[in-house]
Structure 1
């Protein structure tokens, strides 16, 4: 529950908005409750054939209650969904900020599918609590008490029967449903995480997997995870169905009990025909409020599981650095001593020693799987070293302020995201104050000047579909431009020229690795990872990584 409270705090729910949604829900089912009672009175009174004018007010009230029920339902949906959507927006914003400002190792240790599930579906599960749990529970409590109190004015025994039946549907059935669904929901959540991880891997790397002949296996793993998730959901549906069946059974028992009590009272002369009709029809509407509670219990179960994963992610991001964390200062001299890098649980690269003073130009060359990307991420502080140390100006990366470190040492991944927004805004991801003139200059430097000039709105043209709006080569050039405009003084570039033709790629690598070319400011350090390096670069150092062997320098 502590995890759920911490996660729900991310929604920044305003009590006024929640109260408005609850009030609209109470008005909705209150109209139904009043409509049931008034309809019962009207039916019995009309059977007695009084003057028509005696029924006029009741007829008009029935119409008004029927209309108000639909109106209040609409208002309740608007209020509850507005509160939930505002909450999920606030929660995602806060999660993204905590990840951006916290320890960079937090998200680096997670697969993309897992991270996507935690920031996507898990946050949505928290938002569902407002619509499917918080508001329905509050409405059920208010309406249940009102129905029992109203019935108690006519017959306390009938009110007692209704109260017991409401407790069965409002407490016992949700408890059974939640207990039975908890384990299956946990299994389903784990399967959904595996499905997200495997599906994202298959989608992101379909071309490489197809070439390696591994795409069918990747798709098969995703399919099996999806089937496991469906089966776990089905297992949760069985006990939930029994809990749902408790509602009509309780309704039947309550109506039958009220009918027997009413007939006894009527036979003894203690109740009028109108009271008998109200005793029978009122419970039918009273249970409308509690019918949603088994589903609310399942929603809370899912939210608790989601909250645990979200809180775990935030705790990773909030992992404290040692006391006295230091800001990053000039001149940004990066060193790695006996560095072994790799993903948790996987093989690691051989020991590597690098000395990267300001302005250094280094190329890291190797085949796929040789550890190039993990080496760059370790130099950026995004992965913890398997062995050895990485220091910046003599200070271990773990002792530096994470946000300042990321502003100083920038890792630019080959599969970085392009957003479905303008070309200019995609560059401003790296530097928010970038001007249009600066953007045009850097796009021209990376070879996209003519392309931007040919777009309908130039820099302000939207990349519809993000990366799908550009070719592979254009995407790499845009990502390189984003790196060049960033404030980072150490640029760690992962495959910046992949998907370019050989001549253009070689030329860009020469420019990146030449301190005197003016392509990158001479005081900035540049480390380029590549599969193929032209032989005539001005790199200060070329490191060749090989699988399961020591690097060659």
Structure 2
């Protein structure tokens, strides 16, 4: 195992007793199979001698008991293995989410949506597969292989040597070939798979907008091309995978034939000469290897699981390293109401030379501010900086004169809320999607918020009202309904400072303008007059009544005022 895989497996927080219980159940399962093979061989050859029936009674009952115990222990092994794996993946995801929440926000926000989904979803599942498909099967296979070799060694050392070599082929060569095939498939198709996830999610979430813009076919074509690239990578890995699949059957055949030839060579006509092999020993010599390979047969899949987990762990560890250690934050509670002020702030992502021009932003309680600017100018980055999610490149952001870092992060998030335009809608009820922002929200308050943003009629038509599940999350509703639902989530939140990133996009012009006016007017009915609203928009109505309009633009890196000679000021404010 490489270092990244060891670090990633630690995220599973596996309990040794649960893993040992799974291994013990697996050993008992295949031990029953091994004992069943040996006892069946004895029973077949003993019955051939036609002894009294009572001489076979115990063996017959034991065969039944071993057959039943094999299924029972297999069931217990599955329960124990999947219990450990599911607990581990839950623990790993919890640790990753906490690390991302408390670390550098750029670690998650800087990734493509499909890539982030793959790292927190499929990659963590690959780690869980290590328990089910690798750790437990490998441990069981080692125990059973040694046991089978010892059993055959008591009868014929030569046959035991043949079995050991065949098990080495099945347990070492076949897994190596399988791992090589998986490495080829995973390494060459990882980028294509991530690109396919990103473009597929984009096509599914924004199909209507892309169709209107005439770009849907291009996005679908990119998704198909990425999928084809992943398939071609899998085809290239098929050759070593085919040899790996053939290695175990060939090893089984060689072991059985070798044991049979050795047994025939040693078999004595009288069955009792010194050094001669009895019929019962010969039968055991042939049947036991068949049971021994049942454990080794799982090792190629274990190698594939380890290879995939190793590649997944590299991506997970890179994400965690980029996020850094969770910052302890301050110890104070933000005042209520809070007065936020940004002075000489230039905003940008870490390790990026793209920053905004400096600006001052004063947000007393109840302020209404509109933020405008071209696409990619840094409007969202400004909101994240004001919310304390990104550190300012230059300048400072304070709450009642104190740096945001002085306050407890959880308390600060409840006081200053950033609501992204692409926030996630979960595959659960409408009510639970609103409770993401406020856990104690009741049904009446949820209905009131939904009616406020224009979703009252839509909710009334749902089969179970606010308890209707949004199957597929955002895919279950239109783009406009999604924006209204996200706005309702912001309105029900306890935050006193609402930083809203383009909440009216995908709405028709009339409704979008109406909501923007209501949000930016101190006398509007959407937001309590005591709450502060900062609204990012591309479509500011001409009759809107904000306290201030801020225009965000880029400023050159390294200049003191963010202005290039002969260029207009990149960030301005007007009352």
Calculate the TM-score normalised by the size of structure 1.
0.88
Whether 1:258 aligns to 2:264 is no
CA distance in 1, matches of 2:21, 2:484: 51
Whether 1:281 aligns to 2:282 is no
CA distance in 1, matches of 2:26, 2:184: 31
Instruction: Confirm or deny: 8 A CA contact 1:105 1:381 kept in the other structure.
Output: no
Check 1:362–1:290 CA distance in 2 against 1; reply closer, same or farther (3 A cut): same
1:529 paired residue among 536, 543, 554: 536
1:373-427 CA distances to partner (integer Å, 9 max, x unpaired)?
A: 3443444344566x54452246666787654443333221223222233332222
Instruction: Confirm or deny: 8 A CA contact 1:102 1:402 kept in the other structure.
Output: no
1:495 equivalent in structure 2: 502
2:334 paired residue among 320, 329, 337: 329
CA distance in 2, matches of 1:216, 1:342: 32
Whether 1:8 aligns to 2:15 is no
Check 1:199–1:86 CA distance in 2 against 1; reply closer, same or farther (3 A cut): same
1:104 equivalent in structure 2: 105
Unmatched runs of 5 consecutive residues or more in structure 1: none
Check 1:307–1:231 CA distance in 2 against 1; reply closer, same or farther (3 A cut): same
1:289-438 residue pairs with structure 2 within 5 A? Answer: 289-319=295-325, 327=332, 329-330=334-335, 331-335=338-342, 337=344, 339=346, 341=348, 352-366=359-373, 368-382=375-389, 388-393=394-399, 402-438=409-445
1:250-307 CA distances to partner (integer Å, 9 max, x unpaired)?
A: 2233223322332233236422111111112211211111111122112111111111
- 1:430 partner SS: coil
1:530 CA drift (Å): 2.0
Q: How many residues align?
A: 551
2:35 equivalent in structure 1: 34
1:70-109 residue pairs with structure 2 within 5 A? Answer: 70-109=71-110
RMSD: 3.1
1:174 equivalent in structure 2: 175
2:230 equivalent in structure 1: 229
1:36 CA drift (Å): 1.7
Instruction: Confirm or deny: 8 A CA contact 2:23 2:140 kept in the other structure.
Output: yes
CA distance in 2, matches of 1:184, 1:464: 32
Q: Which moved more, 1:172-181 or 1:263-272?
A: 172-181
Instruction: Confirm or deny: 8 A CA contact 1:381 1:397 kept in the other structure.
Output: yes
- 1:26 partner SS: helix
1:371 CA drift (Å): 4.5
1:540 equivalent in structure 2: 547
Instruction: Confirm or deny: 8 A CA contact 1:328 1:408 kept in the other structure.
Output: no
Instruction: Confirm or deny: 8 A CA contact 2:383 2:499 kept in the other structure.
Output: yes
Instruction: Confirm or deny: 8 A CA contact 1:332 1:489 kept in the other structure.
Output: no
Unmatched runs of 5 consecutive residues or more in structure 2: 556-567
Check 1:384–1:192 CA distance in 2 against 1; reply closer, same or farther (3 A cut): farther
1:74 CA drift (Å): 3.2
1:515 equivalent in structure 2: 522
Calculate the TM-score normalised by the size of structure 2.
0.85
- 1:364 partner SS: strand
2:204 equivalent in structure 1: 203
2:558 equivalent in structure 1: none
Instruction: Confirm or deny: 8 A CA contact 2:368 2:522 kept in the other structure.
Output: yes
- 2:267 partner SS: helix
CA distance in 2, matches of 1:272, 1:213: 81
Check 1:216–1:468 CA distance in 2 against 1; reply closer, same or farther (3 A cut): closer
Check 1:25–1:205 CA distance in 2 against 1; reply closer, same or farther (3 A cut): same
1:446 equivalent in structure 2: 453
Instruction: Confirm or deny: 8 A CA contact 1:379 1:390 kept in the other structure.
Output: no
- 2:543 partner SS: coil
